[in-house]
Amino acid sequence: MAEDLMHNALSKSRVFRFAPSPNGLLHLGHALSAILNHDLAAACGGRFLLRIEDIDPARSRPEFEAAIYRDLAWLGLNWEKPVRRQSEHLGFYAAALERLKAMGLLYPGFLSRGEVKAQVQAHEAIGGVWPRDPDGAPLYPKQERGLDRDEALAWISEGRQHAWRLDMDKALALAPASLGWSEAGAGPEGETGVVSARPERWGDVILSRPDAPVSYHLAVVLDDAEQGVTDVVRGQDLFHATSVHRLLQSLLGLPAPAYRHHGLVPGPDGRKLSKSNQDTGIAAYREKGLSPTGLRALLAGYGFVFH
């Protein structure tokens, strides 16, 4: 009986996470995400996790990971330990990739960025319209979907560079037509409430590359499920990516968290903040003498409300 009650209490507890990539210093936008996750968890007696998304070895650096811990501690946030670091779970992601391959949903794409660009330019030069993803990048051509499997495997064993891509049409055929998510924040066009997923807008997304064994999209949905995350609170720049996340969750039989995408903190020049702009880094504000309370006030000044 006591155990049942305990189980119920635990299963009802909401789980939030802040999941930065250690490829630069955290800026005001990261502070906003981290604080929102932390405060929402605290307000409902939920859990707050920190996850280090260091899946891309070329871009992840230990000094940036150390800076994440330092900045979040300075903000006064407490997160559960141990912290999950994606680089320590490669076998877990590889197993999911194999499952998707066994379902016949992945194919190796051999075209280089330059080859894709040349195709797009040739098409546009004769007045054609090449479809683009929500970030404005041209979709990957579909020509390799039907490549002979043995031939493709022979090319791979010859060492030809390739990325494993999701055949979007096959994937969509397996997903429910009603695929969507619950949005407590808003998308860039004010999308809120029950939002329909539109993963087809991304085309044949990459799920694994030779230099990064698993893509952000796949690692993030696997980890959210593995860690029992119930609430994903993150910047609006990832709103459209949620369509791909919902598709992968559906294909892999993973639960759907509730999503809340928050507005982006404007940069000094009105543009998006970037990790390479040192001036808006949390550390820069700290060094200028701002207090954590002052930083919250700065964010509140942009209209962000804390709970």
Enumerate binding residues for ligand GLU (CB under 6 A).
Answer: 19-21, 53, 220, 234, 238
Q: How far is the CB of 174 from ligand GLU (least distance, A)?
A: 23
Give the integer Cα–Cα distance in Å for 14 and 193. Answer: 19
Give the integer Cα–Cα distance in Å for 69 and 203. Answer: 36
Q: Are 258 and 233 in contact (CB under 8 A)?
A: no
Q: How far is the CB of 238 from ligand GLU (least distance, A)?
A: 6
**E-strand stretches of 94-162:** 106-109
**E-strand stretches of 191-249:** 193-196, 206-208, 231-235
**E-strand stretches of 42-154:** 47-52, 84-85, 106-109
Q: How far is the CB of 29 from ligand GLU (least distance, A)?
A: 9
Nearer to ligand GLU, 33 or 250 (CB): 33
Nearer to ligand GLU, 152 or 238 (CB): 238
Nearer to ligand GLU, 19 or 166 (CB): 19
Nearer to ligand GLU, 20 or 281 (CB): 20
Helix axes 62-74, 28-43, angle to 10 degrees: 50
Give the integer Cα–Cα distance in Å for 45 and 12. Answer: 10
* Residue bearing tokens 């992840």: 60
What is the number of other CB atoms lying within 10 angstroms of the CB of residue 92? 14
Instruction: Copy the structure tokens of residue 96.
Output: 């999911």
Q: How far is the CB of 169 from ligand GLU (least distance, A)?
A: 25
Nearer to ligand GLU, 88 or 124 (CB): 88
Helix axes 216-226, 90-102, angle to 10 degrees: 110
Q: How far is the CB of 53 from ligand GLU (least distance, A)?
A: 4
Nearer to ligand GLU, 53 or 183 (CB): 53
Give the integer Cα–Cα distance in Å for 69 and 59. Answer: 18
Q: How far is the CB of 42 from ligand GLU (least distance, A)?
A: 19
